[in-house]
Amino acid sequence: MKYFLYWGCSLEASGVNYLRSLKPVCEALGMEFEEIPDWNCCGASVSYAGANDLAIKVLNARNLALAEKKANYDIIAPCSSCYIQMIKVNHEIQENESLRERVNSILAEDGLAYNGSIRVRHIQDVLFNDIGTEQIKRHVTKPLNGLKVAGYVGCQSVRPYGEYDSVHNPVVQDKLLEALDAKPVPFPKKIQCCGSGIFLPEMDLCLGLVRDILDDAVSHGAEIISTVCPMCAMNLEMYQDRINEKYGTDFDIPIVYLTQLMAVAFGMDLKRDAALHHNVIPPENILKAAIGN
Amino acid sequence: METNTSYDPSFAREVFENVDSGEEIKMCMQCGMCAASCPLREHMDYPPRQIFSMIRAGKRDMVLNANSIMMCTSCYTCQVRCPRGIPVIDVMHGLAHYAISKGILTRKDTAVFGREFWQQIYKTGRIDEKDLSRRYFFADGIITGIKKSLQMARMGIIMLLHGRMKILPEKKIKGIKSLRSMLDKAMQTGKGGSEV
Amino acid sequence: MAEVEATNQTLLVVGGGMSGITAALEAAEAGYDVILIEKNPYLGGRVTQLYQYFPKLCPPNCGLEINFRRMKLNPRIRFFTLAEVEKISGEEGNYNVTVKLNPRFITEKCTCCGKCSDVCDTEIDNPFNFGMDKIKAVYLPHEFAFPMRYVMDPSIVGTDEAKKCKDACKYDAIDLDMKATTFDLNVGAIVWACGWTPYDASKIEYYGFGRYKNVITNMMMERLASPNGPTAGKILRPSDGKEVKNVAFIQCAGSRDQNYLPYCSGVCCLASMKQSTYLRDQYPDCNITIFFIDIRALDRLEDFYTKVKEDEKVTFIKSKIASITEDEATGDLLLEGENTNTGERIQMTFDMVVLATGMVPNSLDLESAPSVSKDEYGFMTLDPNNTGIYGAGCVKRPTDVASSVQDATGAALRAIQSVTRR
Amino acid sequence: MEKKAALYICTGCGIGDALDIDSLKELATDDLGVPICKDHPFLCGAEGVDLIKKDIQDEGVNTIIIAGCSGRVNYDVFNFGPDKIVERINLREQVAWCQPPKEEDTQMLAEDYLRMGCSKANDTEPLEPYIAEEEYSKDILIVGGGVAGMTAALEIAKAGRKAILVEKEDKLGGFLGKMKKLITMPYKDLSDTGAEDLIKEVNENDNIKVYTSATVAKISGSPGLFTAEISADGNSVQERVGSVIQATGWTPYDASKLNLGYGKIKDVITNVEMEEMAAKGKITRPSDGKEVKNVLFVQCAGSRDPEHLPYCSSYCCLASLKQAAYVKEQNPEAVNYIVYKDMRTVGQAEDFYRKAQEDGDVFIRGSIVNINENGGKLSVETDDELLGERVNIEEIDLVVLAVGMVPTSQPDQIPRIQAPEGTEGADEEGMIEVMPDSGFFAKSALNLEYRQGPELPTLKYGFPDSHFICFPYETRRTGIYTAGCVRRPMEVVKAKEDAAGAAMKAIQCCEASSQGVALHPRAGDISYPEFNMQRCTQCKRCTEECPFGAINEDEKGNPLPNPTRCRRCGVCMGACPERIISFKNYSVGMIGNMIKAIEVPEEDEEKPRVIAFVCENDAYPAIDMAAIKRMQWSPYVRFIPVRCLGSINLVWVADAMSKGIDGLLFLGCRHGDDYQCHFIKGSELAETRLGKVSETLDRLALEAERVKFLEIGITDYNRIPTIINEFMETIDELGPNPYKGW
């Protein structure tokens, strides 16, 4: 199966371990990726400060148009922010003809047009629906043996459209974790926002959100937290020190990408494929113990 | 009940005309779902539904100066639960954009961060996280910038050590010129942005 | 099944709930032949599951008793339980209807002595009590069941258990070879009174129904309060059977919500107020909070709202509750919302939460049937150019018992007009 | 008819295990003289029924006494045709299932029921329906030519019957005719009112006779046999009709009673005035004739207000949304403010609320503080609940007060009548306000020639509505139904449906009356009360107490029964001190004989006897239910079902007490505001009568506690054992009835 992989800006930097692990895992599952030529940033959720809605739509429509021009593959956007920006604009353009005309009149500046034929997908969606847990299970050579994982869904990977999972009580990540023989722990805060794109400017307030999430995960017995979003990963991992300092807690729980766990469970190289060395809070020991290494 | 405010429909009209998704607030039935769904509800001056009723009442200054409109984490919880299907996030973003365009920076950090974000996109077509942070920290001048950077320096170094920071600066995308003209056109013809 | 005699002057009423029973009786008492079919093993429909009606707080069985007696005395009505319409063809004044009779496995010989049930060991979830308790697999649906006859759950047919039950019956009333049969009817007009289904509360995921034991629906509350319910009428919370001290009602659980049921279900405000009186009767110290958007108590029913409001133990808060979280240790429930009158944040803990879920119409969706007009929510609408099939009661709009009866009375007349025209 | 009785005892369902059947048979044949007595292990089975049928055929049996299950079941199995008397003795539920088997007391209980049942069968006479000598009319009179009245007339006509429509105005239409547009199903958008078409259809229908500028001067007679005197254009016309529908509608609440500027500020109008203005053309300001721009609607103007109309008028929310749409249609720039308490757009009507929001109407939850006029514009001060502030809404061109509906039956002033001397609350002249449930309360519309008043009794707030949830067309005057907004406040679509329902009932009434069959709740009953006038003392109790006003009076005070008005409850029979009122299958003597049939053991046997008179609709099934649940109670109680507790005659108390019965229980329906008695007053009357009996008991030196009245509902079966056992304890404490063995 061929897809466009729109990895976006973060996956080249803070989310590098996401991209590194995603590629070998997906390739092992028979997926092939193509890059959208000359793609631009999705605008993320904070660009409204500098731009109006139409400009942000155009930003995403350009990527969609570039993709459509090249091939009729689904676009996989592993970053939740990219995913939501792109799927939202895609839906709006598909559903609103006058908006499409308006956007296309702007895209025409570069001879582009978008007809609305592309489907935007989250990586969880593709793994769950196109590949399926049965197929994933077949690739597991080093099962995680009941490792207690808090599958943190966050927000934008499912909301608002809920195309492949419930927006209120998502289960897909947990099912994928189960396929790796991990034991997903239920924790209500798995859908609470970590502060997302405004974490940096609103750090004071958002530290509290992350504390709540970590606390909920840990108190439900999680040994490790998995995510599917570079912002979630960043916010949950990088600020544990500060949270401990501010709230007198003692969090030291590794935050890994779902794809990293998959690479581990697929028996791949912990460094080259699972890219565990990029993690600031080292997950190696826990994972090695789980797979019995 | 003491305060005497007069209902003034002109602000609502202003919002309907100039704010992205502004007219969506008409559908609000004041149930309070959005307020209770928001992760940062405790820190907001007014929950979204109250912002909406204040728009209907014509409380322009209070609305545009409310911290709530710039405090949205874009988590979409309120939006997926709103029984009237109001795209609350879009409205909040639209209002924030409108307020910022009027020079109101109630949550200055967010406004600056967002603006820097956008400007970088405008400049190169992509985001360079390291460059973005640098610009964001120094947006208030060199002194605060150094202070803020120092606070974050340790984390920066750690990230660098773990290979989670790009060393080379982001290059412009090939179609940057045409992208800029597209964005210019969108800013001119779209709602809420015409006055920037 | 022997041929059921009917002519193009006969009326068919589909649905043996309050609306269907009324339509059938009103027409029959005016001298028309009526056939009534009901898919349950008993007549009475939804109201049989209610403890009391608002605003009089009287038991539904009282009115049903009168209606059943009217039915017993009137030879013009014939009724079939466990019956469903399979096909309808034809037009006003001349319909051909295929009715499917599902096997009861218990014949008319049943005297209701209960011996079969005594010997039966298999238990099934009790559908009458929304699965809150178990009943024997051969059972009387409820004490007031009309017709008063046992029914065997198909799941045990073909097992030794079923044979054991059969052997216990002195009256040879168990027929394990009973099969579903069909018969055709020629009728002149049809009253569609199939009623409603409670909205599936588990769809409103942030309320945790189905995951949190102490989150129940308003219909479950009726069963809990009923003397013939799972707790013999004592309202106890499901997780641990404890008495309740602090109960919340969440109005518009699904209703008036674009994501679920965009329409208002009409009766839920009053139903919750009524249920608050159940609680107050049993627990003089119980606190009740009703969370609402708008209180909708039309016409004289406003009096009931006024009366409940006067109870200092019942608090009305204007707020749509945004989420429920369960305390896993205690089973208590944390409700979050915003009091929109004060702007204050609500974080309140309750023993039990009742979701005032709405009504979904059981509409005329058969593989083969003449087209009838429906609105976008599936409620039947009256199309003056398409007569012959008439909706009655909650298939037309979400409504209370009195209005359903009123509507069904009118529907009976319209059906009579159809056969008069031919 | 020469009666030939046969008793069949079923031994199935545990009866045979609980009782000595042979001795029961012996009792029947030897002591009770029943010529044929058989038992069968499965009487309701084909073989059992054939056994009975064979005896009917071969032996000429016409009075079949079945001792087995409760009469509530197997009614169809044991139906042998209208000319056969069937008496059911409940040995299963009320003996075998609630008493220990093979005990002496259980056997005695069964024996008593056998004696009582045989006695009753003996006293029952075959029924023949009442058919009047006059010709029956099946035409239907409709009073009121608004949407409900016109719809009712058409529905009747479409069913092939004739309708006579009387309208007081010079043309049909009512409020519908004055409206601009309608908001109705499916509540997406405004639609035409359809008034013109409806009026035309009514006027052109051959089955409908229309009288305009007409009123009903008098209605005399009874269902099937009414004569209506109609004054039309100064002429008096007589029409014979079978039933009547009152659809006289409503009037808007008087807005000048509200402190909202109406009558003082010209630009404050009512929603009715708004509608009429919109229907005529432009919506303008009454003060200067200029087109309106900003309009403020005040919801619940008077409604949901204990000072004015405590109820919700239910149509006003939608009406204001509709009128706001008129304003927008006239000027898309206009702003509508809607100040509300709760938005009540029920059901699919929620869609139109959303539509109004989309249109930009401003909704303010709160209440009006003040309406002021300055500089030609209005400003409205409002407590805005959701903003938490008192706000001013200025630059308003027009304020529309959404006033509620007052039924036309509500009198302008509550009528006063001469009260009997010494009545509490009477004024100096002995006058007292008429109660709302009196036929003398409502405003003139029907002018019934009824002893209990010329109009329908009202329920609350002047609405002559049904008190029953299950039976919304129940009225206290048989064959006279109400429809539309006179019955309860409702919107147009509901008024139409209501009219169809009332039409159905009216047609049904004509059918039933002409066949001598009772209407609800004893539908199908052909028995009727007969008066032995020779013994009447003109005490008027029957004419006063009949809950349905069925009995008129001549000048001397003799009762003039109207069998087609009668609901067969027997309240008159219970009321009559001379016991002159009887049904062929239900009479004072019959129950008296049943009481006498009970064998009362000697005092030293220490077996007390109690009779429980129970309402056959609620209490009796509750006892059956308790038995089905195998609950147990004292074996000393004998249940006698009665049509309604209102039919109990005090002579039964004397009969029982003088026979040595130790106590009497009366189990009837709840009364009071939320009464459940389907004969309105029956249960209440019973308690009142029993209140008087305790004085008598005192005089007899019998304790008042020996007679107890209890309210019980059909689902109260769990209470049955407690109720009975507690009463038995009381009896034990009181000791045996000293009149035993007299």
CATH code: domain of residue B18: 1.10.1060.10
Say yes or no for a CB contact (<8 Å) between C325 and A188.
yes
Same domain, C345 and C368: no
Structure confidence at residue B39 (pLDDT): 94
Give partners of A (≥3 CB pairs < 8 A). B, C
Estimate to the nearest angstrom the gap between the alpha carbon of A212 and the chain centroid.
Answer: 20
Average pLDDT over residues D414-423: 87
In a domain, B20, yes or no: yes
- Where do the DSSP E strands lie in D55-207? 63-68, 85-90, 140-143, 163-166, 182-183, 190-191
In a domain, B13, yes or no: yes
Angle between helices B88-101 and B48-57 (to 10 degrees): 60
What gap in Å lies between CA D587 and CA B6, rounded to an integer? 75
Same domain, C353 and C368: no
Final residue of a domain: which of C325, C358, C391? C358
Query: What domains lie within chain A, and their CATH numbers?
Result: 2-121 (1.20.1050.140), 142-291 (3.40.50.11810)
- Cα-trace Rg, chain C: 23
| Minimum distance, in Å, between the CA of residue C339 and any CA atom of chain B | 7
Same domain, B35 and B97: yes
ipTM higher than threshold 0.90: yes
In a domain, B92, yes or no: yes
Same domain, B16 and B86: yes
Who among B46, B83, B85 is closest to C320 (CB)? B83
Q: What is the mean pLDDT of chain A?
A: 96
Who among D310, D503, D674 is closest to C306 (CB)? D310
CB-based contacts of D104, cutoff 8 Å, min separation 6? none
- Where do the DSSP E strands lie in C26-109? 34-37, 77-80, 83-91, 94-101
Same domain, B45 and B88: yes
CA angle at C187 for the pair C183 and C189, rounded to the nearest 5° = 135
Same domain, B97 and B112: no
Same domain, C232 and C314: yes
Contact A115, A68 (CB under 8 A): yes
In a domain, B195, yes or no: no
Residue with more model confidence, D418 or B146: D418
| Minimum distance, in Å, between the CA of residue A167 and any CA atom of chain C | 9
Say yes or no for a CB contact (<8 Å) between B36 and C259.
no
Sheet of D140-143, strand order:
D208-211, D163-166, D140-143, D243-246, D480-482
Question: What does the block give as tokens for B79?
Answer: 């939006």
Average pLDDT over residues D480-507: 97
In a domain, C5, yes or no: no
| Model confidence band, residue B3 (pLDDT cutoffs 50, 70, 90) | low
| Minimum distance, in Å, between the CA of residue C415 and any CA atom of chain B | 39
Chains D and A touch (3+ CB pairs under 8 A): no
Average pLDDT over residues D149-158: 98
Average pLDDT over residues D90-106: 97
Angle between helices D147-158 and C401-421 (to 10 degrees): 40
Average pLDDT over residues D554-558: 94
- The residues on A that touch C, with CB distances below 8 Å, are 166, 168-169, 188
Same domain, B140 and B79: no
Same domain, C287 and C329: yes
Is residue D376 scored above 80 in pLDDT? yes
The domain total for chain B is: 2
Q: Which range has highest mean pLDDT (B107-116, B161-170, D14-23)?
A: D14-23
In a domain, B4, yes or no: no
Same domain, B78 and B115: no
What gap in Å lies between CA D614 and CA D94, rounded to an integer? 13
- pLDDT tens-place string over residues A163-207: 999 999 999 999 999 999 999 999 999 999 999 889 989 999 999
Mark residue D694 as left, alpha or beta (left: phi above 0; alpha: psi -120 to 50; beta: remaining): alpha
CB-based contacts of D67, cutoff 8 Å, min separation 6? D7, D8, D9, D10, D24, D89, D91, D110, D113, D114, D117
Neighbouring CB atoms inside 10 A of D194's CB total 16
Who among B21, B71, B115 is closest to A202 (CB)? B71
Final residue of a domain: which of B62, B77, B101? B101
What gap in Å lies between CA B92 and CA B74, rounded to an integer? 9
Same domain, B22 and B97: yes
CB-based contacts of B166, cutoff 8 Å, min separation 6? A12, A13, B128, B129, B130
| Minimum distance, in Å, between the CA of residue C330 and any CA atom of chain D | 32
Same domain, C92 and C129: no
- Quickly list H helices, D281-416: 316-330, 350-358
Is residue C2 scored above 50 in pLDDT? no
* CB of B135 less than 8 A from some CB of A: no
Contact D715, D670 (CB under 8 A): no
Contact B46, B76 (CB under 8 A): no
Structure confidence at residue A112 (pLDDT): 97
In chain C, what residues touch B82 (CB-CB under 8 Å)? 258
- pLDDT tens-place string over residues D432-452: 999 999 999 999 999 999 999
- pLDDT tens-place string over residues D110-138: 999 999 999 999 999 999 999 999 999 99
Give partners of B (≥3 CB pairs < 8 A). A, C, D
| Minimum distance, in Å, between the CA of residue A241 and any CA atom of chain C | 29
Range of the domain at C145: 115-168
Who among B74, B175, B186 is closest to A156 (CB)? B74
Neighbouring CB atoms inside 10 A of A124's CB total 25
Q: Which residue of C has its CA nearest to D92?
A: C113
Same domain, B92 and B126: no
In chain B, what residues touch C337 (CB-CB under 8 Å)? 32-33, 35-36
- pLDDT tens-place string over residues A44-65: 988 899 999 999 999 999 999 9
Average pLDDT over residues C128-144: 95
Q: What is the mean pLDDT of chain D?
A: 95
Same domain, B66 and B116: no
In a domain, C1, yes or no: no
- pLDDT tens-place string over residues C279-324: 999 999 999 999 999 999 999 999 999 999 999 999 999 999 999 9
- pLDDT tens-place string over residues D381-398: 999 999 989 999 999 999
Sequential DSSP letters for D32-56: S--SEEEEETTTTSHHHHHHHHHHH
* Helix and strand element counts for chain C (H, E): 8, 22
φ, ψ for residue C196, nearest 5 deg: -145, 165
In a domain, B167, yes or no: yes
| Model confidence band, residue C173 (pLDDT cutoffs 50, 70, 90) | very high
CA angle at A83 for the pair A81 and A85, rounded to the nearest 5° = 70
Same domain, C269 and C305: yes
Contact D566, D518 (CB under 8 A): yes
In a domain, B194, yes or no: no
The domain total for chain C is: 3
* CB of B178 less than 8 A from some CB of A: yes
Average pLDDT over residues C345-352: 97
Is residue B148 scored above 80 in pLDDT? no
Mark residue D263 as left, alpha or beta (left: phi above 0; alpha: psi -120 to 50; beta: remaining): left
Average pLDDT over residues B174-195: 86
What gap in Å lies between CA C314 and CA C272, rounded to an integer? 11
CATH number at residue C218: 3.50.50.60
In a domain, C319, yes or no: yes
Structure confidence at residue C384 (pLDDT): 78
- Identity (one letter) of the amino acid at B11? F
Same domain, B20 and B83: yes
Same domain, C339 and C370: no
Angle between helices C401-421 and D492-514 (to 10 degrees): 70
Same domain, C341 and C215: yes
Residue with more model confidence, D698 or A71: A71
Q: Which of A13, C420, C172 is nearest to B165 (CA)?
A: A13
Three-state DSSP state, D411:
coil
Final residue of a domain: which of C308, C342, C358? C358
Residue with more model confidence, D82 or D559: D559
Distances (CA, A) of D141 to C409, D161, D195, D210, D226: 19, 11, 21, 10, 9
- Quickly list H helices, D235-315: 271-280
- pLDDT tens-place string over residues D166-222: 999 999 999 999 999 999 999 999 999 999 999 999 999 999 999 999 999 999 999
Same domain, B116 and B82: no
Sequential DSSP letters for C46-58: GGGG-S-BTTTTB
Final residue of a domain: which of C322, C341, C358? C358
Who among B37, B41, B83 is closest to C258 (CB)? B83
Distances (CA, A) of B129 to A100, A278, B114, B156, D195: 31, 16, 13, 11, 70
Sequential DSSP letters for D442-509: SPSSS-B--TT-SSPPP-BTTB---S-SS-TT--SSTTEEE-GGGTS---HHHHHHHHHHHHHHHHHH
In a domain, C342, yes or no: yes
Beta bridge pairs of residue C90: C95
Structure confidence at residue C1 (pLDDT): 44
Residue with more model confidence, A231 or B155: A231
Is residue C3 scored above 70 in pLDDT? no
Structure confidence at residue D742 (pLDDT): 64
| Residue C101: half-sphere exposure toward Cβ, Cα within 13 Å | 20
Query: What domains lie within chain D, and their CATH numbers?
Result: 1-126 (3.40.50.960), 140-249+409-514 (3.50.50.60), 253-405 (3.50.50.60), 587-742 (3.40.50)
What gap in Å lies between CA A187 and CA A196, rounded to an integer? 19
In a domain, B172, yes or no: yes
| Model confidence band, residue D59 (pLDDT cutoffs 50, 70, 90) | very high
Sequential DSSP letters for C319-365: ----EEEE-TTT--EEEEEEETTTTEEEEEEESEEEEEE-EEE----
In chain C, what residues touch D716 (CB-CB under 8 Å)? 227
Say yes or no for a CB contact (<8 Å) between C259 and B42.
no
Q: Which of D20, D31, D194 is nearest to D104 (CA)?
A: D20
What gap in Å lies between CA D407 and CA C370, rounded to an integer? 41
Range of the domain at B26: 9-101
What gap in Å lies between CA D415 and CA D440, rounded to an integer? 8
Beta bridge pairs of residue C338: C345
Three-state DSSP state, D177:
helix
DSSP A106: H
Same domain, B91 and B147: no
* CB of C107 less than 8 A from some CB of A: no
| Model confidence band, residue B2 (pLDDT cutoffs 50, 70, 90) | low
